[in-house]
Every structure is written in C-alpha cells, then in structure tokens.
Amino acid sequence: MGTAPRSCSQPCYVAGGDVRLMKSATTATVTPKDIPGALAFPPWLSKTVVGCFLMASFTATWGGIYLGGIQVADIFLFLTFIVTVAMVVFGNLRFAVPWWLWAPAVAIFVCFTALIYSPIPAAYFGPRYEHVLYSPFSGWPATAPPSGVKSAFWIVALLVVPIAAIACTALDSRVPKWIVASFLAGVAVSGLIALTDLTNLTHVSRNLTLATLRTGYQFDSHRETGLTDHPNTLGLACTLAVPFAVHFISQSRRRWLPCIALVLLCGGVVASGSRGAQIAFPAAVLVAILVSPHKKKVVGWLAATLTAAVLGGLTALTQLAPRVLDKLFRFDESRGSLMSNDERTFLHAQAWNDFKHYPIFGIGIKHIGEAHNIYLQMMSAGGSVLVAGMLIYWFGTLRSCWLAKRSGEALGAYLMLSVIASLVIGALENQLTDRFLYYTIGCAAALAATYRVETLASHPPDRQTPADHVTAAVGPARFWVAD
C-alpha cells in the first residue's frame, strides 16, 4: 500500500461466485483504479507508518510521560498521520472513513460556534465549582484550556486516532490485532510500574512527577498511577485491556504471555484504588470468558493465573506494604471515601443544573471533564447536540464490532466488550477526551472496513479487470477478486 500498482504475488481465487477476503492489502493495489501521476513510495515507508502507530498504541496510556510538553504517544501519532496524509495526497493510498466518525466532530463545531455568537453570561460561572487541572503547556487559565483548544484536542482523539488506524489497516490487514496487542503490552507495563511503586521497590511515578514538572496526585499517597497521569486512569486502562488479554489467552500459542499481562492488569487495578475499575474488572473478565470460542481452555488458564495472582499479590503486599490494602479497596465508610462521594454528588448536581439552563448547546467544551460522569459531562458541556453526536459515534463503533464478529473476526467481540466497559465505567469516571480511549474505536472501524464483504450479486467486480489483478479498497467499499 502506498506503492505503485503491481500484480498480486499471493494467489487469490474465486470459486463458484464466492468472494474471498484478501489476507493482506499490501499484496495488491490500494485503489479500485490506477491514479495517474501517483508516486511510488518505498515498501519500508509503509512498515514505518505501521510501526509508528503501534508505538503510539503501546504508549497511549502513558500520560504521565512528557517530552517537550508532548505525550510520547502523540509524537508517534503525529508522525503516522503526517506520512499517511503524504501517501494519500501524493501516492495511491485510498481508504473510506465511516460516516459516523464525523458525528461528534460536527457536534463539537456546532456547539463551539453557537456559543461564540451567543456566549454564556460570565455571571453564570461565578458560583460554579471547577477542578484545578494541569497542563504542560503555558498560557492557559489555571482551571482548564479554552474551549477552542479543548475541542481541537478532543477532535484529534475522535478523528485522527481512528483514521490513522484505518489507514494502517489499509497498509496491512493484520494491524488491528497488532494494535490491541501493543495496547495490552503498554498497559501491562504501566501496571507493573504501579505494583513496584506500591511495594516501594521503585519510585518511577514520583520521579516522573519531578522530571516532567507535572503536578502529581498527592491526595492519597497509597494510590498509584503507574505511567498514567491519574490513579483512575490506570484503573480504567487496565479494565479496557482485560478483554484483549482473554482474547490472546484464547488464540495465542504462547498463552503464558497474556497470562502474565492479565496478572499485571489485575495488580494495576488494585494499586490504582479506583472503585469503578475494581468493580468492572472482574465483570469484564467473566464476560470475556463467555464470548470466548474456547471457554474450557480459557477457564483453566485463567483459574490458575488468577489464583497465583491473588495469593502472590496478597503475600507480597502484606510483607512489603502492610496496612495498605484497606486504603486501596475504598468501599467502606472511611473519611476519604465519604469526601469523594460528596464531591461527586455535588458535581453531578452541578452538571444537571447546567443542562437545565442550557439544554441545546451546553456551557462550553472547556467544562467537558468536570462532572465525574461522562454522560452528565456531555450534557453540561455540549447539551443535546453533543449527546446526539456521541451516541451516533458509539452506536457506529459497536455496530462495527458486531459486523466484524459476524464476518468471522473473533477480535470484534472483545473490542465490543472493551468499548462497553469504558461506557459502563464512564458513569463513575470523567475520562472522555483522553486519546487512549479511541485506539480501540479505531480498531473497530478498521475491522468493519476490512471484513465487511458483500456478495458478487450485489457488488460485482469490474469484468474488465485482468484475472491476475486484485483490487482492494478499505472502508465501506469491499475486498473482492475478479474472475
């Protein structure tokens, strides 16, 4: 992909009108027709683009690490996007973007524009409570970046990440599996760091706080962040990655690797002290087992893995970090838990009050992270317009996962489970604009584009195409092979 048209060196056949899905789009042209004047990019460039995006996926949850004020994953994402644009503009890389990806971006633009022409009175914000947020960039207010900047960063997450995933899948159809494997590995590393920090074997998170000049979260010294920027983010990331660990336990030959990753994810959830993640994590494991096509194998490996993890974890914590467990499982009526519950209740009421006063366009995307409930946050910041856009986005994502599953791709079910887990935890957390949330959505869109194959009767191939010439288009278009 991204190279001049050439013949397929890998045999693909049609028998009795059957449509065969190509193994990899890299073995054929990338468009349904030749493009005059398209540049022939070297093959290594396609591999470099895919590699950059995999590195972005691997470091996507490492929000605690900044290089020059930019997260590591964003550097690799930027390189991926820039080269992909060049291959589209000057080469013959073509792919279709599902229409539902654009819905929230349009909604954000409409809300932002409406508030420019009809701004919220300044007096309304006087009595409101706002979180004090940190940003590595300078020149922003102490509370949050302006609505325009916040909107732009969120649109990068909503659009650029999925489009980059689709483009990389156009270059190699195996990319979605590589993306979730990289994502799982990155989260597992963060979980490992959280565990070693919790047991005082290392102090990585504390050193990162000093090295990157980020504020850190010192409200509870026993809750760990790993390589993320917040304990709740660590818990959420570990829960999102659980279905992928179960998937690879079910599919991989080396099952011990995803088993180790699952142990680290479990440890990360415990070390984070996130109550929402600690509730959703075991539920996600159980549902992932139910959707696995190899339940007996998965149950055996998971039983051994989780038993070893629980016994080993309890032993290590009681020896290396005594009197910590009661502060990590915060389901009692302790002072810290009660204060957190009261603050969330207040924020929920405030967000609902915002929606009642400004139900159409909200009070501004600047306030998108303030309610500790992503649904109330959308209602508060963008009103009904933003809620409608995001519902379309999530419905399109889940439908894409379902289409991939129906087409025989087992990963589709686990992607759906991961997205559903994020939506469930979203009722308790405020992570909505973080870019790491949208790598799985990009995989869902890419899988649906790759595996949604229609019959020859409804979309017959061009009979003028030579028999040895395979054409491929990624997106709502289909893969097919001519007679």
pLDDT band of 65, cuts 50, 70, 90: confident
66 beta partners? 71
How many Å apart are CA 470 and CA 10, to the nearest integer? Answer: 10
Q: Which of 5-14, 167-176, 282-291, 402-411 has the lowest mean pLDDT?
A: 5-14
Checking if the pLDDT of 284 tops 60, the result is yes
Checking if the pLDDT of 102 tops 90, the result is yes
Tokens read off for 350: 């405030």
Q: Please give the share of the chain, as a percent, with pLDDT higher than 90.
A: 38
Give the pLDDT score at 370: 84
pLDDT band of 54, cuts 50, 70, 90: very high
Give the pLDDT score at 460: 43
pLDDT band of 104, cuts 50, 70, 90: very high
Q: Please give the share of the chain, as a percent, with pLDDT higher than 70.
A: 73
Give the pLDDT score at 467: 33
Checking if the pLDDT of 476 tops 70, the result is no
How many Å apart are CA 179 and CA 73, to the nearest integer? Answer: 13
Give the pLDDT score at 146: 75
- What's the average model confidence in pLDDT over 66-76? 88
* Distance set, CA 335 to CA 232, 273, 332 (Å): 19, 15, 9
How many Å apart are CA 170 and CA 323, to the nearest integer? Answer: 52
Q: Which of 46-60, 68-82, 148-162 has the highest mean pLDDT?
A: 46-60
Give the pLDDT score at 362: 93
Give the pLDDT score at 173: 86
- What's the average model confidence in pLDDT over 466-471? 32
Q: Check if the beta carbon of residue 227 is closer than 8 Å to that of residue 189.
A: yes
Checking if the pLDDT of 356 tops 90, the result is yes
Question: How does pLDDT run across 203-241, given as a tens digit for each residue?
Answer: 888 777 655 544 445 445 678 888 998 889 999 999 999
At position 316, the amino acid (one-letter code) is A
pLDDT band of 25, cuts 50, 70, 90: very low
Q: Which residue has the higher pLDDT, 86 or 483?
A: 86
Tokens read off for 303: 């039983």
- What's the average model confidence in pLDDT over 13-34? 35
Locus of tokens 């409101």:
128
Give the pLDDT score at 218: 47
pLDDT band of 28, cuts 50, 70, 90: very low
Checking if the pLDDT of 464 tops 90, the result is no
Give the pLDDT score at 321: 57
pLDDT band of 388, cuts 50, 70, 90: very high
Give the pLDDT score at 148: 81
Q: Check if the beta carbon of residue 411 is closer than 8 Å to that of residue 390.
A: no
Give the pLDDT score at 458: 40
Question: How does pLDDT run across 407-460, given as a tens digit for each residue?
Answer: 888 899 999 999 999 999 998 888 899 999 999 999 998 887 665 433 223 444
Q: Which residue has the higher pLDDT, 447 or 171?
A: 171
Cα 54 to chain center, whole Å?
A: 13
Checking if the pLDDT of 259 tops 90, the result is no
Residues 6+ apart with CB under 8 A from 282: none
Give the pLDDT score at 421: 94
Dihedral angle over CA of 201, 203, 204, 209, nearest 10: 170
Give pTM, 2 decimals.
0.81
pLDDT band of 323, cuts 50, 70, 90: low
> Whole-number mean pLDDT of the chain?
77
- What's the average model confidence in pLDDT over 169-182? 92
